[in-house]
């Protein structure tokens, strides 16, 4: 139990720490499909960054807002309603929100899915379960320290990276730079 608490505390400040020990248990199910409330939510699990990477480079004239988060990260959880509101307000204006969970595999069923259901998250949620974070973090952004929450906003070839929690007002302000 101590190990999990320590990892959770460290993770909120710097996910760049080597998390291989905590994520050795890989989920080999590529997609978990749910049809009922008891199943909580449909959840796509990417076991490697290369399979997730195309979602970070879509060229379709939409504005894509991608947030990396985890249920054990308090700042992440605090800002999630802002992304939900953004999705609701701007969906018809060509804005797509993707929430990339970095939760550990042993928490998918017990924490992540219930959290998604309890918070009524309607944005697309996927899981990145690639334990080699030291390899994929710099592929996303070379300056990324590994801490979360992290957000990427992009439209075609224009991209901004934010290693900070957002208020709704700050998130909306950044979004507007892509809508103008």
**What's the mean pLDDT in 147-170?**
97
Which residue did the predictor score with more confidence, 13 or 141?
A: 141
pLDDT of residue 12: 44
| Residue 146 pLDDT exceeds 60 | yes
CATH of the domain at 130: 3.40.30.10
For residues 149 and 76, give the distance between their C-alpha atoms in angstroms, rounded to a whole number: 5
pLDDT tens digits for 28-84?
323 333 333 344 446 899 999 999 999 999 999 899 999 999 999 999 999 999 999
Half-sphere exposure of 172 (CA within 13 A, CB side): 13
pTM above 0.85, yes or no: no
Residue with tokens 């992290």: 150
Q: Are 136 and 130 in contact (CB under 8 A)?
A: yes
Q: Total domain count for the chain? A: 1
Q: Between 9 and 153, whose confidence is greater?
A: 153
Domain hosting residue 94, numbered range: 2-179
Find the radius of gyration of the CA atoms of the chain. 16
Digit-coded pLDDT (tens) for 89-113: 999 999 999 999 999 999 999 999 9
CB contact at 8 A, 29 and 19: no
Angle value at C-alpha 17, between 79 and 139, nearest 5 degrees = 75
Query: How far, CA to CA in Å, does 88 sit from each of 41, 93, 94, 96, 97?
Result: 18, 10, 11, 10, 10
């Amino acid at each position: 139990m101590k190990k999990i608490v320590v990892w959770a505390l460290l993770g909120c400040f710097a996910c760049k720490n080597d998390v291989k020990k905590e994520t050795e248990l890989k989920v080999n199910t590529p997609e978990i499909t749910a049809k009922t409330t008891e199943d909580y939510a449909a959840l796509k699990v990417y076991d490697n960054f290369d399979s997730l990477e195309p979602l970070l480079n879509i060229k379709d004239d939409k504005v894509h807002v991608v947030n990396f988060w985890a249920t054990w990260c308090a700042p992440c959880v605090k800002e999630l309603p802002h992304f939900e509101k953004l999705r609701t307000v701007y969906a018809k204006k060509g804005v797509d929100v993707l929430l990339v969970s970095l939760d550990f595999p042993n928490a998918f069923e017990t924490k992540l899915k219930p959290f998604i259901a309890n918070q009524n998250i309607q944005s697309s949620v996927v899981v990145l379960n690639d334990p080699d974070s030291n390899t994929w973090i710099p592929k996303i952004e070379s300056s990324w320290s590994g801490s979360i929450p992290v957000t990427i906003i992009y439209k075609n070839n224009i991209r901004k990276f934010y290693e900070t929690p957002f208020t709704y007002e700050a998130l909306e302000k950044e979004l507007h730079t892509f809508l103008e």
